[in-house]
Every structure is written in C-alpha cells, then in structure tokens.
Amino acid sequence: MKLFNLPDDATYTFADYFRLNPYIGDLSNFFGYEFQRLDYPLPASNALLPRLEDLIYRLEQNMQHTAMNNETARREFLIAPVISEVIMLTHSRVRVEYPLNVNEKLKGVLDYWLQGKCGCLVVEAKNGDLEQGFVQLTAELVALDQWIDDPMPILYGAVSVGYVWQFGILKRQSKQVIQDLKLFRVPADTKDLMQVLIGILQDEENA
C-alpha cells in the first residue's frame, strides 16, 4: 500500500505528514493500525489543583495581551503554562523538542514528551487546524509504539492549538489508534484538562 504517489524509498518526518495531510485512517492503515473516532473514557485524576485559579488567570491574561498568530506564541503562552503546572503536580519529566528517529518514515521532533510515574504523553502544538495536527500526532504515536520497550499497553497523545486540546490513544496490543471526540477548551475546561493530563501520567492501570 502506498500512502502518497512518491517513491517507496522516500523519507518522511512527522512534520511532512502534517504538510501532506493524508486522511488519518489511511495513515493509520499504512502503518498497520486500525483507526476509530469515539468518545473515549480518558483517565482523570481527582487530585487537588491548588493553583488552578492562578493558572486560569494567567492564561486569560496571556490571551488578552499576546498576539496568538503563530505556533511559538501559542506554545509559550498557552500550552507551556499548562504543561508546567502538570509537571509540578506530578513530578513528571518533560523533554522539549525531543528528536526521535525510528526509521525513514517515522522520524522528527516531538514538541513535548512527558514521562510520569505510570504513563507517558506526547503533546503536539499547532498554530491551527486541529484535524491536520492529529495526522502528525498519529505518526508520532506510531513511532513511539515502535520505539518504547516498556510494556505499558496504552500510549497517549494530545494535539493543541492553544485554545483547544484533543487527545489521541494508541492501544498497542490491538493496534488501534483512537481520536477522542471530546474537545477541551482553554480557559473554560482548564480543570477538566488538567485532571486528564494528570490522570494519564499517573494511570496505574497502564503501568
């Protein structure tokens, strides 16, 4: 099966998939995974969020006073504050712009790569077009599945345009990629978003 009308020996980075924008199902099938869209029961933590009001205030202020017309601005002023709060609460490790090279069709840079007590999460930041961003996230999740030796059964990812987050799930044993139908909007859904991010990184069922 050919994904694009290009030579078989062509190489692709994660960003190339965003640019070429194939249908997500075709991309998943190309790598041997089934694709589904459904309302997925994401893990969610009930942990206290002592700085939630301050986080929401900072996000609102950033939105009011920062021109969000490029990916860098959204990453630094909308996405990074959320991730910073998550790693402080979970003591997770985060790598920014983490290079990953699995093979000639699965390589590139992960915007954020978080490793928690029991789970991990890749976050892809985009300036716009959530659906097109999910195409790139799918390639990143497939690459992580082939790269990670840890037996955790589920890999999680999220694509964010700053104002909106959407999660992806890769079930390793059944080789399924799932696009969660729920959208988390910032600042309105910041609490729910934080609970899910913390839940993913501390999901003992995924240990």
Class of domain 14-38+60-206: alpha beta
Given a cut of 80, is residue 4 above it in pLDDT? no
CB 153 within 8 A of CB 206: yes
Q: Residue 1 above 70 pLDDT? A: no
Whether the CB-CB separation of 159 and 136 falls below 8 Å is answered with yes
pTM of the model: 0.95
Give CA angle at 190 (88, 156), nearest 5°: 70
Question: What integer is the mean pLDDT of 172-200?
Answer: 97
Cα 63 to chain center, whole Å? 22
The stretch 126-141 carries a mean pLDDT of 94
